[in-house]
Amino acid sequence: MKRRWWLALGVGAVVVAAAAGCSTFSYYGQAIGGHLEVMHRAAPIPQRIADPATPPELRAKLERVLAIREFASRELGLPDNGSYRSYADLGRPFVVWNVFAAPEFSVEPRQSCFPIAGCVGYRGYYGQGDAEGFGAGLRKEGFDVFVYGVAAYSTLGWFDDPVLNTFIRYPDADLARLVFHELAHQVVYVKGDTTFNESFAVAVEEEGLRRWMAKHSTPAEREAYAASRARRAEFVKLVLRYREQAAQLYREPLPDEAKRAAKAKLFAELDADYGELKAKQWGGFPGYDRFFAGMNNAHLASVATYEALVPAFRALLAREGGDLPKFYAAVKALARLPRPERDRALAELAGR
């Protein structure tokens, strides 16, 4: 950890880039304590590699992640710092659990606001039980809720984020994609605009992975990832299409009971369309089954948060001729605009 101890008091505000916090002392306590535990468990990757007790499979993955990390700074212009140069085993499958919530008749996520990070569309907890408990309380208030585990997050460069056991055993393509995504958050972060931040990071991960795989992957690996990316694109298209249909429904001047019935019908149709997509085009691939279980407005909101502006950022990268430093500069210029002007510019880039 390269910052002074007193900066730990700001972790509750900084960590919300992926583990959004709340204003209560108890929340900040778990956020600070959770992050400090992560940092305490971290050790330099070369030290882990040299340790005879490190299993051979883990050693090979750590060597691979060092190569990915060097590529990120050398080839993609991402920050050259201590992030993702250490490793921590947390002894659990996820580092945080995020809680998305949306009103019964809205696809807009419930916001939580903080001094440094601004307003974000989700809250994160280092303990699954805490996340589930918070989600249960929101359900009692009438919100649709979606709780899911997160493998990694970024502290926006305030601390040296480590590689974690929660994602180290991912396939190389997914491991590289995740590192590129989290480092992108250190390049640009707009206070209070989660969709801008996440969509930008997705665009960076996509381009970074394309370049990484062109140099370091076998034809079979590229083919497997292309199939995975195609499924992801079809998944996003399906969910965003139904998100728009739900938004239109909720704008209708209908009695609540009528809206409730129409909502149930809409989600039943979404479930049927997913089943058809899975059976006819994915050969029964079950990777999205957990997401579609108990589908509600919060699920729709979570996908929009990460994907809605990606086409605009792709277009901006193309406009800059694929030059990543110029692209980053253009994104930083967008980030300085007032929100309405930024939204208009992104809409124009996306052709809307």
pLDDT tens across 262-279, in order? 999 999 999 999 999 999
DSSP 248-315: HHHHS---HHHHHHHHHHHHHHHHHHHHHHHHHTSTT--TTHHHHTT--HHHHHHHHHHHTTHHHHHH
Portion of the chain with pLDDT greater than 70, in percent = 91
- Average pLDDT on 13-24 reads 43
232 plus 311 within the same structural domain:
yes
Domain that holds residue 69: 5-172
119 plus 24 within the same structural domain:
yes
pLDDT at 14 over 50: no
State the average pLDDT for the chain: 90
Determine, yes or no, domain membership for 239. yes
Q: Which of 172, 189, 206 is the last residue of a domain?
A: 172
* Cα–Cα distance measured from residue 293 to residue 298, given in angstroms and rounded to the nearest whole number: 12
Q: Find where tokens 């370091």 sit.
A: 216
pLDDT tens across 150-200, in order? 999 888 888 899 999 999 999 999 999 999 999 999 999 998 898 899 999
* Cα–Cα distance measured from residue 37 to residue 173, given in angstroms and rounded to the nearest whole number: 28
pLDDT tens across 52-68, in order? 999 999 999 999 999 99
261 plus 338 within the same structural domain:
yes
161 plus 297 within the same structural domain:
no
Tell me the pLDDT band of 25, cut-offs 50, 70 and 90: low
Strands (E), the chain: 43-44, 86-88, 96-102, 112-114, 118-120, 123-125, 144-150, 163-164
pLDDT tens across 89-105, in order? 999 999 999 999 999 99
Q: 139 CB contacts (<8 Å, ≥6 apart)? A: 145
Cβ proximity of 168 and 87 under 8 Å? yes
Closest alpha carbon to 112 in 124, 129, 130, 128:
124
Determine, yes or no, domain membership for 203. no
Determine, yes or no, domain membership for 250. yes
Domain count, the chain: 2
* Cα–Cα distance measured from residue 162 to residue 185, given in angstroms and rounded to the nearest whole number: 15
Determine, yes or no, domain membership for 190. no
Q: Which of 110, 145, 172 is the last residue of a domain?
A: 172
DSSP 69-101: HHHHHHHH----SSTTSEEE--SSS-SEEEEEE
pLDDT at 18 over 60: no
159 plus 226 within the same structural domain:
no
pLDDT tens across 228-264, in order? 999 999 999 999 999 999 999 999 999 999 999 999 9
Higher-confidence position of 113 and 299: 299
Determine, yes or no, domain membership for 177. no
pLDDT at 130 over 50: yes
148 plus 21 within the same structural domain:
yes
Determine, yes or no, domain membership for 90. yes
* Cα–Cα distance measured from residue 19 to residue 214, given in angstroms and rounded to the nearest whole number: 33
142 plus 267 within the same structural domain:
no
Determine, yes or no, domain membership for 344. yes
83 plus 163 within the same structural domain:
yes
pLDDT at residue 7, rounded to an integer: 36
Number of Cβ within a 10 Å radius of residue 305 = 20
Given phi > 0 = left and psi -120 to 50 = alpha, else beta, which region is 81? beta
